[in-house]
């Protein structure tokens, strides 16, 4: 949320550089929602792509309760 506000405040949104006092709140809210929705979709895509890694990692953690950095890197290489 803070990042979306910063993007808008710094003129990096489709609105460009704006003045909070003169820009309708509806336009700011629309830009904010667009940024958040785009990032939510990006997160979903990344999680979908990494699903097998996440499942295998969760399974190892379920059985062992913790794994070493070496085991984690090995798992990452296997699923990459």
Q: Is the pLDDT of residue 19 over 70?
A: yes
Residue 80 has a pLDDT of 65
Q: Is the pLDDT of residue 79 over 80?
A: no
Give the burial string for 16-32 (b: 16+ CB within 10 Å, else e). eebeeeeeeeeebeebb
Q: What percent of the chain has pLDDT over 90?
A: 51
Shared domain check, 54 and 44: no
Shared domain check, 56 and 32: no
Shared domain check, 55 and 35: no
pLDDT band at 59 (very low <50, low <70, confident <90, very high): confident
What is the residue range of 31's domain?
Answer: 1-49
Shared domain check, 64 and 44: no
* Side-chain half-sphere exposure of 73, counting CA atoms within 13 A: 3
Q: What sign for the dihedral angle of Cα 13, 16, 20, 23?
A: negative
- pTM of the shown model: 0.70
Residue 20 has a pLDDT of 84
């Amino acid at each position: 949320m803070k990042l979306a506000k910063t993007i808008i405040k710094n003129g990096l949104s489709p609105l460009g550089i704006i003045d909070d006092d003169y820009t309708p709140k509806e336009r700011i809210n629309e830009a904010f929602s667009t940024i958040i929705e785009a990032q939510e979709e990006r997160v979903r895509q990344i999680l979908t792509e990494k699903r097998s890694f996440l499942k295998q990692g969760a399974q190892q953690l379920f059985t062992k309760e913790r794994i070493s950095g070496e085991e984690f890197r090995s798992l990452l290489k296997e699923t990459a």
